[in-house]
Amino acid sequence: MDLNRLRDIKTIHELFKSKKLSVVEFTKFHLNKAHELNPTLNCFITITDELALSQAKESEERYLNGNPLSEIDGIPMSVKDVICVKGVRTTASSKMLDKYISPYTATGIQRLIDNGAVIIGKNNSDPFAFGGSGENSGYGPAKNPLDVSRVPGGSSSGSASGVAAGIGIYSIGTDTGGSVRNPASLTGLVGFKPSYGRNSRYGLISMASSFDTMGVLANTVLDAAIVEDILSGMDSKDSTTHDLPKPNFKSDVDKDISGLTVGIPKEYFVEGLDPDIKKSVMDKVEELKAKGVKVKEVSLPHTKYALPTYYILVPSEISSNLGRFDGIRFGNSDSSSIDLEEEYIKSRDVFEDEVKRRIIIGTFALSSGYSDEYYKSALKVRELIKRDFGNVFKEVDAIITPSMPRVAWKIGEEVNDPLKLYLEDIFTVTANLAGIPGISVKCGEKEIDNTDDSIDVWGNKVSRLPIGLQILTNRFKEDTLFRLASKI
């Protein structure tokens, strides 16, 4: 049996049940693969051999006794390193937390563990999830397994890189402005972000509290639905979660889509979008029409303000949330220092450049004399963006857009131009501003002129890179999201 070909939860679960595949041996295979490919991909900060094998042995015992906990029982997976797992090093991919061992586990991850998940490691990312390429990590950039000279996207860079390379069957990332959908698009995966309030944020190291969500990177839409069924639900430790009926998104995957209406927002198909990406997305729209889906052009008029609004509000929340990392409450303290200001300066100088940049922007936006002009104005525009989506969703069931304006770019290409890098988020930040769910699925490939002999992680010369398509639905309408995504 070629274990590399086993990439979806349902198939692996059936093999475990029939005892044709050992949970322990399958876990060892993925751990070995992690150790083998990580020196090239840098997708893991910590590989949790001992924890994974312990969980795998318990899972195998359950299968032998005929009582697995769920479909994900025994399935190897990974966790973005901004999410806490008890007893495991949790760095947020920043040197600020280099030695931090979490004393508790995030609610979402605990729900997966309670259903038999096997955690093989903690994934590299942009520090504190600040970035869209994976290049800002304090531990060096993660690389795209489809072309190791290119970025895998960010901030859930290591999560996407690992799953795309076949290390773990799925990964739990976070999405504040596209940090699951962005890397999914650049690595050819499924990247799912739920509505704000659908999943608990407890145990997620906060970036921007009114934007952050825990999401899923997987190989199939069905896998994302299976995992989200477990992740979702009210949490008494997170007051922003909603008390909603327990979903069964897995069953939505097979439902018919004929009769649904999809909107194509004209503001997302503008100059600057790669024409190959536009064609791939619209080709899929035509396929949906052939399956009985109605299509109409819609307008989201405040889209042009989304990026500046996002990059005022998010850094503002960042500057508040990162106040705790002062070397006294969290971080690296120097007990020899007797001057408090000197202690702060020494400790916070450890922050990576992108972290410092966003703290400074946010502090400025909140400062006396500027908060009305910037922060409060941005809050008003956010409400207008929410209203735009509310109006459009009275007319359509879903919206289809490109996930990213282009395919994966070379590592280092934009690292010295943060404004250009921020523009890569143009299609994804609106979902977080509005609190609505989104999913990125592969819709095609773009041929590239490989003049520098770029290779993938398996040593093959690269000729094509994946293109992602994004689907957005109204808040808490993830069922429609999964129905449409599965048909693409």
pLDDT tens digits, one per residue of 367-385:
988 999 999 999 999 999 9
Reference 176, options 251, 242, 83, 112; nearest CA is 83
Asked if pLDDT for residue 341 goes beyond 90, the answer is no
- pLDDT score, position 335: 59
Q: Which of 179, 185, 316, 486 is catalytic?
A: 179
Largest CA distance in the chain: 72
Domain 1-488 fold: Amidase signature (AS) enzymes (3.90.1300)
DSSP-assigned beta bridge partners for residue 468: 442
Domain ranges within the chain, ordered by starting residue: 1-488
Reference 144, options 405, 426, 465; nearest CA is 465
Whole-number Å distance between alpha carbons of 79 and 121:
6
The total of other beta-carbon atoms located within 10 Å of residue 445's CB is 16
Mean pLDDT over 353-369 rounds to 94
Asked if pLDDT for residue 333 goes beyond 70, the answer is no
- Is residue 231 within 8 Å of 83, Cβ to Cβ? no
Mean pLDDT over 210-222 rounds to 98
Asked if pLDDT for residue 162 goes beyond 70, the answer is yes
Asked if pLDDT for residue 343 goes beyond 80, the answer is no
Amino acid identity, position 480: T
179 is known as an active-site residue: yes
H-type alpha helices, 351-392? 353-366, 377-392
Reference 96, options 324, 278, 274; nearest CA is 324
- Is residue 178 within 8 Å of 425, Cβ to Cβ? yes
Classify residue 57 as exposed, middle or buried by CB count within 10 Å of its CB (0-12, 13-18, 19+). Answer: middle
Q: What are phi and psi of 12, to 5 degrees?
A: -65, -40
Asked if pLDDT for residue 190 goes beyond 70, the answer is yes
* Strand pairing category for 398-402 and 464-473: antiparallel
Asked if pLDDT for residue 73 goes beyond 90, the answer is yes
pLDDT band for 414, please (50, 70, 90 cuts): confident
80 is known as an active-site residue: yes
Mean pLDDT over 225-254 rounds to 96
Q: How many CA atoms lie within 13 A of 127 on its CB side?
A: 22
Q: What is the pTM of this model?
A: 0.96
Q: Which of 59, 102, 149, 155 is catalytic?
A: 155
Whole-number Å distance between alpha carbons of 132 and 10:
31
Q: Which of 33, 80, 193, 284 is catalytic?
A: 80
- pLDDT score, position 96: 95
- Is residue 274 within 8 Å of 309, Cβ to Cβ? no
- Is residue 216 within 8 Å of 206, Cβ to Cβ? no
Whole-number Å distance between alpha carbons of 133 and 427:
15
Asked if pLDDT for residue 37 goes beyond 90, the answer is yes
Reference 226, options 116, 302, 98, 351; nearest CA is 116
Mean pLDDT over 406-413 rounds to 96
Mean pLDDT over 381-405 rounds to 98
Rounded mean pLDDT of the chain?
A: 95
Asked if pLDDT for residue 336 goes beyond 70, the answer is no
Mean pLDDT over 91-99 rounds to 96
Mean pLDDT over 455-477 rounds to 97
The distance from CA 378 to its chain's CA centroid, rounded to whole angstroms, is 24
For residue range 258-313, list pLDDT tens digits in order: 999 999 999 999 888 999 999 999 999 999 999 999 999 999 999 999 999 999 99
451 vs 57, more confident? 57
